[in-house]
Amino acid sequence: MRARDVLGFVVLVLGLGCDPPADRDSPSDAAGGNGSAGSTSQPADASGSAGRSGEAESGSAPDDAPGEEGMPPLPPGPYENSLGMRFVPVAGTSVLFSVWETRVRDYEAYATATQTAVPHPDFPEEPLQPKAAISRAQALAFAAWLTSVEQKEGKIRPVQSYRLPTDAEWDVAFEVGQTGGPYPWGDGFPPPDHFANYEITNDGFVYTAPVGSFASNRLGLYDLAGNLWEWIGEGCASGGAYLVRGAGWNAHTAAYFELGFHYCFSDDLVGHHNVGFRVVIDGAF
């Protein structure tokens, strides 16, 4: 187990049916967030309350990126966008998934172009780390800007757009029900060392790791497990308009690691040090 700095945060519970987990690895502990959690293998039934586990819910490379220090070899894929973000198709969905979480350098390109302030977590970030402390509104604004830019430049067609993944798309990308157990690594707890960036494993990082520092899943996607909780483009079906999945760099609570775990909130999470996002491209290629 690694030693982490314990960041002080206040959890405000807005009453989605129960209190959220009190552990500091939850998004609600990052900056005074609110929320409750549900663990479910059925995303359509994910609720805003914790502990639904008693029911059915148990739970060739681009030129720029791989040459940069710390970047992994990239899986083959059909599209690299104007920011050097790489996208691959995911069978069972109609979208292209970004292979990485949105990086600091990607978000800073948007912020510079739009003269938007860049939020910062309580730890230093480098260009190839995933951008932390992003609210869902900020993630959606990034996606809308990138859509507009690339449509105007003819890089994507008018029917195509960037957006956050849906809960069902995330389930497919996260290989829910396909790993041989309730966790991304399969069965047994705790997770193995060097599998992902988690609080309770030896992974070599104190906070976030550069994207792609760990092996991809079988679909060629990196860091769906660990590093940052990631925004879903919809809320929990049974309560809570905001939803994050995947667990973050400081995760240590067993339920948070489950493939079907849903963390649901009444309000957007602003400035949370363990929340980020990745985008998908919607529309046929």
d(CA 43, CA 66): 34
The mean per-residue pLDDT over the stretch 162-177 comes to 96
pLDDT of residue 284: 62
Which of 78, 76, 138, 77 lies closest to 106 in space, CA to CA? 138
Average the pLDDT over 259-280 and give the result: 96
What pLDDT does 239 receive?
A: 85
pLDDT at 116: 97
Place of tokens 């359509």: 44
Tens digits of residue pLDDT in 9-56: 323 223 333 333 334 567 754 433 334 444 333 333 323 333 322 222
Nearest one of 228, 219, 253 to 97, comparing CA atoms? 219
pLDDT of residue 46: 28
Q: Which of 29-33, 94-98, 272-276 has the lowest mean pLDDT?
A: 29-33
pTM: 0.78
Lowest-confidence range among 62-76, 191-205, 259-273?
Answer: 62-76
> In which band, very low, low, confident or very high, does the pLDDT at 199 lie, cut at 50, 70 and 90?
very high
Mean pLDDT confidence for 246-272: 95
What pLDDT, on the 0 to 100 scale, is given for residue 27? 77
The answer on pLDDT for 61 being more than 80 is: no
Whether 4 has a pLDDT exceeding 80, the answer reads no
Q: Report which DSSP code applies to 44.
A: G
Average pLDDT over residues 73-88: 79
For the chain, what is the mean pLDDT?
A: 80
Per the CB < 8 A criterion, the answer to whether 182 and 59 are in contact is yes
pLDDT of residue 24: 54
Q: How confident is the model at residue 268 (pLDDT cuts 50, 70, 90)?
A: very high
Backbone φ/ψ region at 33: left (φ over 0), alpha (ψ -120 to 50), beta: beta
pLDDT of residue 53: 28
Q: Give the single-character DSSP code of 209.
A: -
pLDDT, one tens digit per residue, over 218-258 is 999 999 999 999 999 999 987 899 999 999 999 999 999 99
For the domain 1-285, what is the CATH code? 3.90.1580
